[in-house]
Amino acid sequence: ETGVTQTPRHLVMGMTNKKSLKCEQHLGHNAMYWYKQSAKKPLELMFVYNFKEQTENNSVPSRFSPECPNSSHLFLHLHTLQPEDSALYLCASSQQETGELFFGEGSRLTVL
Amino acid sequence: GESVGLHLPTLSVQEGDNSIINCAYSNSASDYFIWYKQESGKGPQFIIDIRSNMDKRQGQRVTVLLNKTVKHLSLQIAATQPGDSAVYFCAESVSGGYQKVTFGTGTKLQVIP
């Protein structure tokens, strides 16, 4: 139990589907993140939310749409994805003052 | 551009030996460095961190060394165990709270029983 829970753990979707990834943190942190992890590439920061406000959008295509309804929950809405979007999507949280990231176990996404 | 990179993609170590994983960074403004461990099927897990006002920090069986002159970071694992088998990432950031953390590509550590 890492304190950051992601669902679903595995997701297979077609390019025309719409799905969402969910992340919940039980650590009382005020910042939440979405990272993309592809094979043999560094972790790529996608979005950062601090106190529910989006503070970073790292040039992510609009087919990825984040939502942060409160400091404990973060969603990543997916629509009309491409096969190259297949990856492990990691959610993380941190306390602003410390910066240490706590990661969930990820959602493995496969786009057919 | 700025980058964080690792010298070796795979490191094989005999059980009981010490492991050293190296990392180079290029952003001279970075002042906070972190090592993460990622086991198969899991998310990265914090191991140890170090700030730029230090050159060495020790944890339980792990030591991080920072050489700011040559922009080099290393993670030393003493008495490597099979449970240490994982991918290890170094990461750098400029302090300021929820700053952007730049990750390296990772080194896979394989422990030979």
Number of folded domains that form chain B? 1
pLDDT value, residue A1: 55
Q: Domain of B61?
A: 10-112
Does any domain span residue B57?
yes
DSSP string, B32-70: EEEEEEE-TTS--EEEEEEETT-SEEE-SSEEEEEETTT
Q: What angle do CA B30, B32, B33 make, to 5 degrees?
A: 100
**Alpha-carbon dihedral angle through residues A51, A56, A61, A63, given to the nearest 10 degrees:** 0
Residue range B23-73, pLDDT digits in tens: 999 888 899 999 999 998 899 999 999 999 999 999 999 999 999 999 999
Residue range A33-51, pLDDT digits in tens: 999 999 878 899 999 888 7
Find the CATH number of the domain harbouring B64: 2.60.40.10
pLDDT-derived band at A62, boundaries 50, 70, 90: very high
Does any domain span residue B5?
no
Torsions phi, psi of B8, nearest 5?
-125, 130
Does any domain span residue B40?
yes
Does any domain span residue B98?
yes
What gap in Å lies between CA A100 and CA B56, rounded to an integer? 18
The closest CB to that of A100, out of B46, B104, B105, belongs to B46
**Given strand B19-25, what is the order of strands in its sheet?**
B4-6, B19-25, B72-77, B62-67, B56-58
Does any domain span residue B20?
yes
Does any domain span residue B2?
no
- Encoded tokens for A72: 């404990």
Q: Is the pLDDT confidence value at B7 over 50?
A: no
Contacts of B101 in chain A (CB under 8 A): 45, 99, 101
Does any domain span residue B78?
yes
pLDDT value, residue A97: 56
Does any domain span residue B1?
no
What gap in Å lies between CA A68 and CA A3, rounded to an integer? 17
Q: Is B45 on the interface with A (CB under 8 A)?
A: yes
Q: Is A48 on the interface with B (CB under 8 A)?
A: yes
Q: Which residue has the higher pLDDT, B95 or B91?
A: B91
Residue range B93-108, pLDDT digits in tens: 887 545 678 888 889 9
Nearest of B33, B89, B29 to residue B64 by alpha carbon:
B33
